[in-house]
Amino acid sequence: MTLRTLGKSDMKITRIGIGAWAIGGGKWEFGWGPQDDAESIAAIHAGLDRGINWIDTAAAYGLGHSETVVGRVINGLQTRPYIFTKCSLVWDESGRIGHSLRADSIRREAEASLKRLGVDTIDLYQIHWPAWNGHSENASPGSIEEAVGTMAKLKAEGKIRHIGVSNFDARQMQRASHVAPIVSLQPPYSLLAPEVEAAILPYAQQNNIGVIVYSPMASGLLSGAMTRERIAAFPQDDWRKHNPNFQEPLLSRNLRLVETLRSIGKGHNATPGEVAIAWTLRNPAVTGAIVGVRSAQQVSGIANAPDIKLSHEDMLEIEQVLTLQTA
């Protein structure tokens, strides 16, 4: 697979990475319903076997479970993929998610992640959110500056190699960069969520901050495997069940977009999901895309996305259907 350098780091990453949000399973606020660990492990191995060289996870995914599963996979591997994880989302004994940017919290989270992953060093440690759940930054203890300062200390101690941020805007990235070098940004980016194109991606590109986008297939909606029946059967602990994109009136328009992606995909011998991922990768600011997989079979439906070069005609066709959808 083609490699790209992630920002100012020394890491050369494949253009797609393995996303480990869904393998955290259900029974937490942003879960994806029940998930079999054996299938998760097989999925990650299938991705690594295809040449993908990085895994993105977070402490909050499954309240630590995702990191534990990733740790089981990489334990004993002769060649280990890059491991990216995140901090700032914490939880209490009842599993309720909270948010903290305090120094003592960031350090505790890093130590816990290192233990669950079974590694001595985290390749990329990212602030998951600058603020939480629609609240202002002031609603959480600590600050961006305090958190990044602690991450710089963790880097000096050899516990993390690089510092990244997730869900930051341009001003927040600038503030973080004043404290320590930021090598990457992780924003949401897809055909259904293009908002970062306006100011956030240009800022990252201008400042040589690598970008690894998440949810390029809109949490599976653009994969080509989603149907009304499947959505209706989502378990109660699948957060997508209550997401507007998976409900009417947006669902019908989104499924029409999938059929356009399917049509374009036929010309590239690709799935709708691969076309959706390729659409994000065509942006010059984007270093790579995080693609969630829950089974080995799903890997074959996303692995060729980096090889797809969308034509001018393809882009026009996508633009036309998007214009119709927003009219």
State yes or no: is 125 an active-site residue: no
CB 15 within 8 A of CB 288: yes
H or E stretch at 201: helix 200-206
Instruction: Enter the tokens of residue 249.
Output: 């009136």
Q: Is 40 helix (H, G, I), strand (E, B) or coil?
A: helix
Q: 184: phi > 0 → left, psi -120 to 50 → alpha, else beta; which?
A: beta
Which residue's entry shows tokens 């990457």? 184
> In Å, what is the CA distance from 286 to each residue of 137, 175, 190, 317?
27, 21, 12, 22
What's the helix, strand, coil split of the chain in %, to 5?
40, 20, 40
Torsion angle defined by CA atoms of residues 189, 194, 200 and 203, in that order, rounded to the nearest 10 degrees: 100
Q: What is the pLDDT along the chain (327 residues), one digit of tens a residue?
A: 899 999 999 999 999 999 999 999 988 888 889 999 999 999 999 999 999 999 999 999 999 999 999 999 999 899 999 999 999 999 999 999 999 999 999 999 999 999 999 999 999 999 999 999 999 999 999 999 999 999 999 999 999 999 999 999 999 999 999 999 999 999 999 999 999 999 999 999 999 999 999 999 998 899 988 999 999 999 988 889 889 999 998 888 899 999 999 999 999 999 999 999 999 999 999 999 999 999 999 999 999 999 999 999 999 999 988 887 554
CB 149 within 8 A of CB 137: no
